[in-house]
Structure 1
Amino acid sequence: MDEKILEHCKMLNQYECYLREISASPKDQFAGSYLLKGSAERYLQLAIESCINIGYIVDFMNSEHI
């Protein structure tokens, strides 16, 4: 597997762990905490960016073989 893809997968896994930890917070605590909400938003954004980057890398690798 391409090293860049592997690195993005590792980061994606880490972001998922952070999001799961945040999701374990009680709903009222989450709703009242700008830190928890901001962290959840940021880690979700980073996870999405990692997925997009993986897609770009795979697409680029496939286009080189055409």
Structure 2
Amino acid sequence: MAKTFVLTLKRSTIGCTQDQKDAVRCLGLKKIRHSVEVKDSAAIRGNIMKIQHLVDVVVKG
């Protein structure tokens, strides 16, 4: 079974750079306290590292 991440947006993107806002949208997060489950890949990990101060990450699998 492939590893997945459960991401929850915990902080607002107000005041963030456009790259960080794009990373939040690319991961499928829309509002504060919104959670999504994404599969593990190099691109996903890069986006998570870019916004690690804005999200809570839980590893599943």
State whether TM-score is above 0.5. no
Which has the bigger relative contact order, CA under 8 A and spacing at least 6? 2
Return the TM-score normalized by structure 1. 0.32
Which structure has the highest strand share of the two? 2
Which structure has the highest helix share of the two? 1
